[in-house]
């Protein structure tokens, strides 16, 4: 019966190297690595040595456990720094010895090829001289001589080809080793070596598990949104972009992706005193400075609590966001800080397709799709690449969506909808006999033509002036219809009109605003 021992190294450095990386949990700003090493132990005592741990490990995160024959116990340990230059020097000397031997072999092959070249030259010379000169050879003798010379030439050429192939293989191996040598000279990162003592009462197989946290590792959600305009469907593919330069490659490891943020800390922020007082202008300046510092400390506390919590911008509870994705199969991520994209999930939802325009900003319409996210899990915030019928149209920042929440986005300009926006009135008038006032009016003529073969719902978005002074009165100008929505997306003054335009038809609208101010007002800005 096996027994499991758990040994926490609370303020130490880290361990393994020859141990296999079994699994990695990646957070948005770090990663937890789990290594496993299996060894045969005797009914005695011994030492587990691992010498390639990343030097930048979080010492407080180390956790070691062991399972094996009854009576297995973990003992003392020590950690030593292995200088990168020392480790590289040993390997470099080994590579240099290999290179010396390979270069010697290549030189021998080159010499043999030169010898075959001399043989071939001699054979060619003999073939050219056959039957020439004062002593004429009989035709029969010439034929036999040429046949013998031909066979010799064929054998020599075949030998040359074989020698060239062998030389090419050795040259490739020399190039590979030279590249390794160059990499060793550039990469001389130090590592940690762990020497862990253990004691056992029985022989058998023991398994040591080492967990630790490393920085310089991260992942972020990435999406592809593909809109099918004919089928009114949106395909959402969810990816994870993982990168790391922790000092060790994650080779053939089980990968988990978590949205938890260990950097936020586990301690509740401590409230700071909020002092108020009557400031005496004649009081000591140090007392005034003390009040100011207390005030700053109080206002700074909430900022400290929310630091690094940008994932919480989505309307989804934090509990849902702490789950981890399990990547299918085993994955390798090199420590080169290059992004590695992994597919997590794919879903499809029905959407309503419409158009939107903001004519005051640009006389154009944008295709717009919206629908309810019907997945079981929340979608975390991330960047999304947009495709309209397999055509790339741009990128957006997606704020995330909880199950049942609306998911919507524009999908590029709709070139089949024509938008015209022209200024038709911009004047100033006075009114009143006793208390005179000024009236400013500005109107635009909006014309939208639907070039689609079907009716299109379109939303017109415009901004009405918003007054910061009660003496400035703002109203819709004559001829402007009442908006269907006001303060859209909680933005002051943003209005929206919802209309349906039949295929091939045109919508005409007037958008205008009117400002009324006292005539003695010095002036206004922003009009």
pLDDT of 77-108, one tens digit each? Answer: 777 777 665 555 667 778 888 999 999 999 99
pTM: 0.62
Residue 48 near residue 37, CB atoms below 8 Å: yes
- C-alpha separations of 103 from 114, 170, 172, 176 in Å: 17, 8, 11, 13
pLDDT at 293: 44
pLDDT of 209-248, one tens digit each? Answer: 889 999 999 999 999 999 999 899 999 999 999 999 998 8
Tokens of 327: 């990547």
pLDDT at 273: 66
Strand residue runs (E) in 287-405: 324-326, 331-333, 340-350, 352-357, 365-372, 382-388, 391-398
Ranges in the chain, pLDDT < 70: 1-18, 83-90, 129-143, 146, 184-189, 263-270, 272-323, 431-436
pLDDT at 420: 96
Identify the three-state secondary structure at position 405.
coil
Q: If 0-12 CB within 10 Å is exposed, 13-18 middle and 19+ buried, where does residue 366 land?
A: buried
């Amino acid at each position: 019966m096996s027994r499991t021992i758990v040994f926490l190294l609370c303020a130490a450095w880290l361990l393994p190297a020859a141990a296999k990386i079994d699994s990695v949990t990646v957070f948005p700003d770090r990663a937890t690595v789990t290594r496993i090493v299996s060894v045969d132990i005797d009914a005695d005592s011994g030492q587990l040595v691992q010498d390639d741990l990343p030097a930048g490990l979080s010492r407080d995160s180390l956790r070691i456990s062991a399972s094996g024959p009854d009576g297995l116990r973990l003992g003392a340990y020590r950690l030593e720094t292995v200088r990168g230059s020392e480790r590289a020097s040993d390997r470099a000397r080994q590579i240099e010895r290999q290179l010396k031997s390979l270069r010697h072999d290549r030189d021998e092959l080159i010499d043999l090829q030169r010898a075959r070249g001399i043989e071939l030259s001699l054979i060619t010379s003999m073939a050219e001289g056959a039957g020439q000169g004062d002593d004429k050879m009989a035709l029969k003798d010439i034929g036999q001589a040429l046949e013998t010379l031909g066979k010799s030439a064929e054998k020599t050429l075949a030998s040359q080809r074989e020698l060239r192939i062998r030389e090419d293989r050795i040259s490739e191996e020399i190039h590979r080793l030279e590249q390794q040598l160059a990499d060793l000279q550039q990469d001389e990162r130090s590592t940690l070596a762990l020497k862990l003592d253990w004691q056992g009462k029985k022989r058998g197989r023991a398994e040591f598990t080492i967990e630790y946290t490393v920085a310089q590792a991260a992942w972020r959600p990435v999406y592809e949104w593909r809109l099918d305009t004919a089928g009114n469907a949106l395909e959402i593919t969810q990816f994870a972009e993982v990168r790391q330069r922790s000092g060790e490659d994650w080779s053939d490891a089980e990968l988990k992706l978590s949205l938890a943020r260990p950097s936020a800390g586990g301690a509740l922020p401590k409230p700071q005193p909020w002092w108020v007082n009557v400031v005496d202008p004649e009081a000591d300046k140090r007392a005034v400075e003390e009040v100011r510092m207390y005030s700053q400390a109080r206002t700074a506390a909430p900022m400290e609590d929310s630091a690094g919590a940008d994932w919480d911008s989505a309307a989804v509870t934090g509990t849902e966001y702490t789950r981890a994705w399990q990547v299918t199969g085993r994955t390798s991520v090199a420590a080169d800080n290059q992004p590695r994209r992994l597919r997590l999930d794919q879903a499809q939802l029905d959407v309503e397709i419409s158009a939107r325009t903001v004519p005051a900003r640009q006389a154009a319409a944008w295709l717009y799709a919206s629908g309810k996210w019907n997945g079981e899990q929340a979608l975390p915030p991330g960047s999304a690449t947009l495709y309209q019928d397999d055509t790339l149209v741009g990128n957006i920042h997606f704020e995330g969506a909880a199950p049942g929440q609306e998911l919507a986005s524009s999908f590029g300009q709709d070139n089949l909808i024509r938008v015209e926006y022209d200024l038709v009135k911009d004047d100033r008038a006075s009114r009143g006999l006793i208390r005179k006032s000024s009236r400013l009016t500005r109107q635009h003529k909006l014309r939208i033509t639907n070039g689609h073969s079907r009716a299109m719902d379109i939303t017109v978005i415009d901004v009405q002036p918003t007054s910061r002074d009660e003496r400035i009165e703002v109203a819709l100008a004559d001829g402007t219809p009442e908006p269907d929505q006001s303060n859209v997306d909680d933005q002051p003054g943003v209005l929206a009109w919802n209309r349906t335009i039949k295929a091939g038809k045109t919508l005409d609208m007037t958008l205008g605003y009117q400002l009324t101010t006292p005539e003695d007002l010095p002036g206004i800005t922003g009009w």
